[in-house]
Structure 1
Amino acid sequence: MEKIEHTIVPTNGINMHIASIGTGPVVLFLHGFPELWYSWRHQLLYLSSLGYRCIAPDLRGYGDTDSPPSAASYTVFHIIGDLVGLLDHLGIDQVFLVGHDWGAIVAWHFCSFRPDRVKALVNLSVPYLPRNPAINLVEGFRALFGDDYYFCRFQEPGESEKDFASVDTAILMKKIFAIVGPQPLCVPNGFSGLQTPDSLPSWYSDEDINYYATKFNEKGFTGGLNYYRACNLTWELTAPWTGLQIKVPTKFIVGDLDIVYCIPGMKEYIHNGGFKKDVPNLQDVVVMEGVAHFINQEKAEEISAHIYEFINKF
């Protein structure tokens, strides 16, 4: 880990923290919620040892990157603007793109807005969710799961922040990293009501938990929650891209215990042709058995090998 370099880069009106290591073709890693560049620590070391330049930013609102106060500053246009500005600042023309959770959502949009900057895509956990012109994502989830679904609960400014603050941050991170499917994540008592695991899974340590806890104690969770709160605005602004296919060469990996994979209708979409229709250059779908949502950390070596196997073709 000490070989990883940390830099602050000005981009799109903010200062962005990036972790980077290695030389060669560039792999850009995009983390999810509630995570950091740190979620990709294993992949950074693995792929840099095989001749790649690996870059993992703290996305807008996270870690050591600036956190604008308004939720309206967290649409996918802002996030992708940050990333394009980052690549421009570093003099990078094209990248291999790897995303997980919210990072995967951003990566899908990145490939729709700027496919010229992406050689190939490896996305984890969240498949392409084409824009429904009839209903936005938040109301779609509300209709499917009700007001207690986490995506809906996160919409109210300050509510989830209070919920998170009621629990020690290290304990909260343990609760979140222990989440598995198949039930949708409906939390009538908030995330603080989730059961604390009796012991740490083998894939993360007290050191890992403390790193996340320290950074979220410094920054808070509002920046990450603002991605959810900007969803409706993103839906409004992306109307011109309705029906657009993602044509970047793509590999998709998901765990069979992932709460996203267990959403009603998701498996059918992924496996019965809908996903391939929306992403015609989808070249591989991998379902890993016995694996939950935080797949890039839970099965770090396997995910690193999957990424390498795919991007090494190009």
Structure 2
Amino acid sequence: MPAIRPIDPDGDSRVEHKTAVLNGNTYHFLYGVPPGGTFHATVFLIHGWPDLSMGWRYQIPMLLDMGFRVVAPDMLGYGGTDAPKSPPEPISTYGLKRASDDIAALAKHIGAKQIVLGGHDWGGSVVWRAAAWYPDLITHVFSVCTPYTPPHRKYFSLEQLVAGELPQFQYQIHLASGEVEKAVKDEASIRAFLKGLYGAKGPNGELAFDPEKGILVENLFKIGESRLLNGKMLDYYVREFSRHGIHPTLNWYRTRRANWEDDLALLDKKVIKIPVLFIQATYDNVLKPEMAKNMDALLPNLTRGEVPATHWALTQKPDETNAIIKKWLVNQGFGTRSSL
């Protein structure tokens, strides 16, 4: 069993569920301060797909114990946060620039002049770009699984990436196609989908997800129980994903050109000089270790860590992941609450 007690989705005294209107959309976020109410810095935690703020349920208690104030939003399209329709809203609403702007707005809302920013999966992509867009706000960045990729002058489509060095990104074409939401459309199919994406298999080893194919719709209702997402936590996820359906969360996969267009303003900001931590998941079959080989030149203050986990390192190996994050934060001078 993990050494730390995760946040309880049915109510937990360590966090509050709050909302704020950020750039016109209402966000839901988890908000926690250490016992006694004093804190020495603020950490924002940004989730990926298909996840929620509750995906950080093992990291939030550790950070609170270290004396941090912790903020974990449901990102646009997810859970208790708004899911604007696109169209009529431009698809860039679900892009990395807009997410960065909303993080900055949330920091202003809670009165944080500077933040430490952590991300996983799509959240990792967000935090790297947010560091470039808001260098005065963000003092440190950590990313779990998601390597840093700099802005490019030339546009590369998903199809070009798949045909080149990243065949395992084929699934993103399927997720962007509009086909997935035709099959994942009610509570029962959302439940099966979530179990499958969090590692559950069918009786004969059937999978719900293949990096080079996408969602294996024909297997969804063969899927058994997941060790990573089950019980009342699975119930919580099913409720939260049933609010808007799966479609708006898939809009993130429709933003490649919009993100590239925004990135053109960052071509002179490819180097991120602040302290950064990258945690590789050894067995991630999409964000593979070789993708992170060449980051050092662009990240002069890079620290690397690795956990023997699949993509869901935050919940599969929480003690190991937390230990790496905690050691790095201590080395950055944050210390622990007991030593303040």
1:279 to 284, 295, 299: 299
Structure 1 residue 256 displacement after superposition? 1.1
Letter in 1 for 2:230: S
Larger RCO (alpha carbons 8 Å, 6+ apart): 1
With 253-262 and 106-115 compared, the bigger mean Cα shift is at 253-262
Structure 1 residue 294 displacement after superposition? 1.0
The Cα offsets for residues 289-310 of structure 1, whole Å up to 9 and x where unpaired, read as: 2x10011111112222222221
Question: Which residue does the alignment assign to 1:205?
Answer: 230
Specify every segment of 5 or more residues in structure 2 that has no aligned partner in the other structure, as ranges: 1-7, 202-208, 334-340
SS at match of 1:165: coil
Letter in 2 for 1:36: L
1:12 to 18, 23, 47: 23
Question: Which residue does the alignment assign to 1:246?
Answer: 272
1:222 to 236, 247, 251: 247
Structure 1 residue 140 displacement after superposition? 3.2
Residue 281 (structure 2) pairs with residue 255 (structure 1): yes
CA distance in 1, matches of 2:84, 2:286: 28
Structure 1 residue 147 displacement after superposition? 11
Instruction: Tell whether the 8 Å contact from 2:307 to 2:320 is kept in structure 1 after alignment.
Output: no
Alignment of 1:62-211 (within 5 A): 62-70=78-86, 71-144=91-164, 149-156=170-177, 158-165=178-185, 168-178=189-199, 185-187=211-213, 190-193=215-218, 198-201=224-227, 203-211=228-236
Structure 1 residue 138 displacement after superposition? 1.9
Residue 328 (structure 2) pairs with residue 310 (structure 1): yes
The Cα RMSD (Å) is 2.5
Q: Aligned pair in 2 of structure 1 residues 111, 253: CA closer, same or farther (>3 Å)?
A: same
CA distance in 1, matches of 2:278, 2:167: 28
Instruction: Tell whether the 8 Å contact from 1:36 to 1:62 is kept in structure 2 after alignment.
Output: yes
Identity of aligned pairs, percent?
A: 26
Structure 1 residue 178 displacement after superposition? 0.8
CA distance in 2, matches of 1:164, 1:175: 12
Q: How many residues align?
A: 302
Structure 1 residue 218 displacement after superposition? 1.5
Q: Aligned pair in 2 of structure 1 residues 191, 28: CA closer, same or farther (>3 Å)?
A: farther
With 24-33 and 232-241 compared, the bigger mean Cα shift is at 232-241
Letter in 2 for 1:258: D
Letter in 1 for 2:20: V
The Cα offsets for residues 118-168 of structure 1, whole Å up to 9 and x where unpaired, read as: 121110111011233333252333323679911112222x32211323862
Question: Which residue does the alignment assign to 2:310?
Answer: 292
Specify every segment of 5 or more residues in structure 1 that has no aligned partner in the other structure, as ranges: none
The Cα offsets for residues 156-185 of structure 1, whole Å up to 9 and x where unpaired, read as: 2x32211323862111111001189xx970
Higher gyration radius (CA): 2
Q: Aligned pair in 2 of structure 1 residues 129, 120: CA closer, same or farther (>3 Å)?
A: same
Instruction: Tell whether the 8 Å contact from 2:20 to 2:27 is kept in structure 1 after alignment.
Output: yes
Letter in 2 for 1:240: A
The Cα offsets for residues 256-304 of structure 1, whole Å up to 9 and x where unpaired, read as: 1102343xxx51x523xx210121211x212222x10011111112222
TM-score of the two chains, using structure 1 as the length reference: 0.88
Q: Aligned pair in 2 of structure 1 residues 42, 256: CA closer, same or farther (>3 Å)?
A: same
Question: Which residue does the alignment assign to 2:45?
Answer: 29
Instruction: Tell whether the 8 Å contact from 2:92 to 2:259 is kept in structure 1 after alignment.
Output: no
Instruction: Tell whether the 8 Å contact from 2:55 to 2:314 is kept in structure 1 after alignment.
Output: yes
